[in-house]
Amino acid sequence: MSLIASQPVQDVPALQQQGGCTDAPVLRERGQREVFCGLTGIIWLHRKIQDAFFLIVGSRTCAHLMQSAAGVMIFAEPRFATAVIEERDLAGMADVNDELDTVVARLLARRPDIRMLFLVGSCPSEVIKLDLSRAAQRLSKQYLPAVRVLNYSGSGIETTFTEGEDACLASLVPELPAESATAATSLLVVGALADVIEDQFARLFTQLGIDTVRYLPARRASELPPVGPQTRYLLAQPFLAETARRLEDRGATRLAAPFPLGIEGTTGWLKAAADEWNVAAETFEKVIAAPRKRAETALVRHRETLSGKRIFFFPDSQLELPLARFLARELGMELVEVGTPYLHRQHLAEELALLPAGTSLSEGQDVDRQLDRCRAARPDLVVAGLGLANPLEAEGIRTKWSIELVFTPIQGFDQAGDLAELFARPLNRRERLKV
Amino acid sequence: MKLTVWTYEGPPHVGAMRIATAMDKLHYVLHAPQGDTYADLLFTMIERRNKRPPVTYTTFQARDLGSDTAELFRSSVVDAYDRFTPQAMIVGASCTAELIQDDPGGLARAIGLPIPVIPLELPSYQRKENWGASETFYQLVRALAGPNAPTPGSEKPPRDETRRPRCNLLGPAALGFRHRDDVVEITRLLADLGVDVHVTAPLGATPEDLTRLGEADFNVVLYPEIAGQAATWLKRTFKQPFTTVIPIGVGATREFVREVAELAGLDPKPQLASEASRLPWYSTSVDSTYLTGKRVFIFGDATHVVAAARVATEEFGFDVVGLGTYAREFARDVRSAAERLGVEALISDDYLEVEEKVAELRPELLLGTQMERHIAKRLGIPCALISAPVHVHDFPARYSPQMGFEGANVLFDTWVHPLMMGLEEHLLGMFREDFEFNDDAAPSHLGAGHTAPVAAAAATFTTPEDSQDAGQTPAAQKHEQKHEQKHEAEPQTSVALWTEEADRELKKIPFFVRGKARRNTEAFARDRALDRITLETLYDAKAHFGR
Segments making up each domain of chain A, as ranges: 26-34+293-433, 37-159, 186-282
* Strand pairing category for B26-31 and B88-93: parallel
With pLDDT > 90 as the criterion, what percentage of chain A qualifies?
87
User: If you average pLDDT over each of A216-225, B268-277, B314-323, which comes out highest?
Assistant: B314-323
Phi, psi dihedral angles at A22 (to 5 degrees): -50, -45
DSSP annotation of B150 reads P
Q: Is the pLDDT of residue A51 over 90?
A: yes
The pLDDT-based confidence of A421 (bands split at 50, 70, 90) is: very high
Q: Is the pLDDT of residue B86 over 80?
A: yes
Average pLDDT of A405-409?
91
Measured between CB atoms, which of B41, B58, B59 is closest to A68?
B41
B79 is catalytic: no
- pLDDT value of residue B519: 84
Cβ contacts (< 8 Å) between A107 and chain B: which residues?
Answer: 3
Distance (Å, whole) CA A332 – CA A12: 9
| Cβ contact B123–A87 (<8 Å) | yes
- pLDDT value of residue A149: 97
Cβ contacts (< 8 Å) between B9 and chain A: which residues?
Answer: 60
The pLDDT-based confidence of B511 (bands split at 50, 70, 90) is: low
- pLDDT value of residue A75: 56
Amino acid at B374: H
Beta-bridged to residue A213, according to DSSP, are: A187
Mean pLDDT lowest among A160-164, A241-245, B64-68, B467-471? B467-471
Measured between CB atoms, which of A35, A82, A128 is closest to B34?
A35
Q: Does B71 lie at the interface with A, CB-CB under 8 angstroms?
A: no
Task: State the DSSP string of A64-87.
Answer: HHHHHHS-GGGSSS-SEEEEE--H
Phi, psi dihedral angles at B385 (to 5 degrees): -95, 140
- pLDDT value of residue A93: 78
Three-state SS for B520?
helix
Measured between CB atoms, which of A64, A69, A90 is closest to B7?
A64
Q: What is the pTM of this model?
A: 0.88
* Strand pairing category for A231-235 and A186-190: parallel
Say if A26-34+293-433 and A186-282 have the same CATH topology.
yes
Q: Is the pLDDT of residue A16 over 50?
A: no
Cβ contacts (< 8 Å) between A94 and chain B: which residues?
Answer: 1
Average pLDDT of A8-19?
43
Cβ contacts (< 8 Å) between B130 and chain A: which residues?
Answer: none
| Residue A433 CB contacts under 8 Å (≥ 6 apart), including other chains | none
Q: Nearest-CA distance from A328 to chain B in Å?
A: 29
Q: Nearest-CA distance from B34 to chain A in Å?
A: 5
Q: Is the pLDDT of residue A232 over 60?
A: yes
Amino acid at B147: P
Candidates 3.40.50.800, 3.30.70.940, 3.40.47.10, 3.40.50.1980; CATH matching A37-159: 3.40.50.1980
In this structure, are residues A119 and A86 in contact, taking their beta carbons and an 8 Å threshold? no
Three-state SS for B479?
helix
pLDDT in tens, A168-177: 999 999 999 9
Distance (Å, whole) CA A237 – CA A319: 8
- pLDDT value of residue B128: 97
| Cβ contact A37–B35 (<8 Å) | yes
H or E element: which one contains A117?
A: strand A116-121
Q: Does A85 lie at the interface with B, CB-CB under 8 angstroms?
A: yes
User: How many CB atoms sit inside 10 A of residue A377's CB?
Assistant: 14
Task: State the DSSP string of B362-400.
Answer: --SEEEE-HHHHHHHHHHT--EEE-SSS--GGGS-SS--
- pLDDT value of residue B514: 76
Amino acid at B467: S
Task: State the DSSP string of A92-111.
Answer: TSS-HHHHHHHHHHHHHHH-
Distance (Å, whole) CA B380 – CA B482: 11
**Helix B351-361 with B370-379: angle, nearest 10 deg:** 40
Average pLDDT of B251-267?
97
- pLDDT value of residue B209: 98
More confident residue, B125 or B380: B125
- pLDDT value of residue B132: 98
Q: Decide yes or no: CATH 3.40.120.10 for domain A186-282.
A: no
The pLDDT-based confidence of B476 (bands split at 50, 70, 90) is: very low
Nearest CA in chain A to B72: A31
Beta-bridged to residue A365, according to DSSP, are: A30
- In terms of phi and psi (left: phi > 0; alpha: psi -120 to 50; beta: otherwise), the region of B157 is beta
User: How many CB atoms sit inside 10 A of residue B170's CB?
Assistant: 29
Mean pLDDT lowest among A210-214, A246-250, B451-455? B451-455
In this structure, are residues B355 and B332 in contact, taking their beta carbons and an 8 Å threshold? no
Q: From A198, A196, A241, select the one nearest A217 (Cα to Cα).
A: A198
Here the ipTM equals: 0.92
- pLDDT value of residue B380: 85
User: How many CB atoms sit inside 10 A of residue A8's CB?
Assistant: 5
CA–CA–CA angle A199, A200, A205 (5° rounding): 95
Average pLDDT of A68-79?
68
- pLDDT value of residue B256: 98
Average pLDDT of A196-215?
96
Q: Does A82 lie at the interface with B, CB-CB under 8 angstroms?
A: yes
Average pLDDT of A340-353?
96
Three-state SS for B306?
helix
Window A:180-219, CB contacts with B under 8 Å: none
Cβ contacts (< 8 Å) between A397 and chain B: which residues?
Answer: none
**How many angstroms separate the Cα of B520 from the Cα of each of B20, B294, B421, B499, B524?**
53, 19, 25, 16, 6
In this structure, are residues B77 and B91 in contact, taking their beta carbons and an 8 Å threshold? yes
The pLDDT-based confidence of B467 (bands split at 50, 70, 90) is: very low
| Cβ contact B124–A37 (<8 Å) | no
Distance (Å, whole) CA B522 – CA B532: 9
Q: Which of B79, B267, B287, B413 is catalytic?
A: B287
Give me the helices (H) in B362-499, please: 370-379, 404-416, 422-430, 474-488
pLDDT in tens, B428-451: 665 555 555 555 554 444 454 444
Q: Decide yes or no: CATH 3.40.50.1980 for domain A26-34+293-433.
A: yes
Q: What is the mean pLDDT of chain B?
A: 87
| Residue A137 CB contacts under 8 Å (≥ 6 apart), including other chains | A149
Distance (Å, whole) CA B147 – CA B403: 33
pLDDT in tens, B132-146: 999 999 999 999 999
Q: Nearest-CA distance from A107 to chain B in Å?
A: 8
- pLDDT value of residue A77: 67
Average pLDDT of B16-25?
98
Distance (Å, whole) CA B235 – CA B481: 55
Measured between CB atoms, which of A32, A65, A84 is closest to B2?
A84
Edge to edge, what strands does the sheet with A148-153 contain? A148-153, A116-121, A52-58, A80-84, B2-4
Cβ contacts (< 8 Å) between B60 and chain A: which residues?
Answer: 157
| Most distant CA atoms of chain A, gap in Å | 70
- pLDDT value of residue A240: 98
The pLDDT-based confidence of B520 (bands split at 50, 70, 90) is: confident
- pLDDT value of residue A18: 54
Average pLDDT of A79-104?
92
Distance (Å, whole) CA B4 – CA B128: 14
With pLDDT > 70 as the criterion, what percentage of chain B qualifies?
85
Q: From B477, B483, B471, select the one nearest B446 (Cα to Cα).
A: B471
